Amino acid sequence: MAFREKSAWVMAITLLIGAIVYFYLVASADWPIVAKLPAFVVYTAVLIALATIGHIAIAVFSPKEANASADEREKQIAHRASHIASYVLGAGVLLGILIYLVVPLGDVLFYVVFASLMLSHLADYVAQIVLYRS
């Protein structure tokens, strides 16, 4: 397995865990939900730490590949996966706007857009894995 595919696995698993925790916390929060900066910072820092640890772990076993730049196929896969992810982000933001028109709460809009951002990144890495394996 190429280093970048391993990297995509690390990011997909990290973001999947992050998404599960995120939706659990949002679903179990008291309504109307309020966006809190400290919680957002801690959540993002934990995700970055998990992704960094995962990447260090895979880089230890393939240091040469970890330092190499992406080749033509890897760039093409990244480009196609980003294209797919852009639709997820767009759909999420559109959903957020529509929800805002019905329920004009900025905090809800924040959570919908943040979820869209996270799901679009998850879609990006899942698409990369699928493209690497097809």
Partner 1 sequence: MAKRPPIENRVRELRNAHGGMTQLELADAIGVTRQTVIAIEQNRYSPTLESAFRIAHVFGVGLDEVFSWSEDSD
Question: Rounded CA gap, 69 and 110, in Å?
Answer: 35
Please give, one letter per residue, the 3-state secondary structure of 109-131.
HHHHHHHHHHHHHHHHHHHHHHH
Q: Which is nearer to partner 1, 55 or 80 (CB)?
A: 80
Q: Which residue's CB is nearer to partner 1, number 4 or number 121?
A: 4
Query: Which residues here bind partner 1, judged by CB under 8 A?
Result: 1-3, 5, 65, 68, 71-74, 76-77, 80, 131-132, 134
Q: Compute the least distance from the CB of residue 96 to partner 1, in Å.
A: 31
Q: Which of 123, 116, 48, 111 is nearest to 85 (CA)?
A: 123
Find the shortest distance in angstroms from Cβ 133 to partner 1.
9
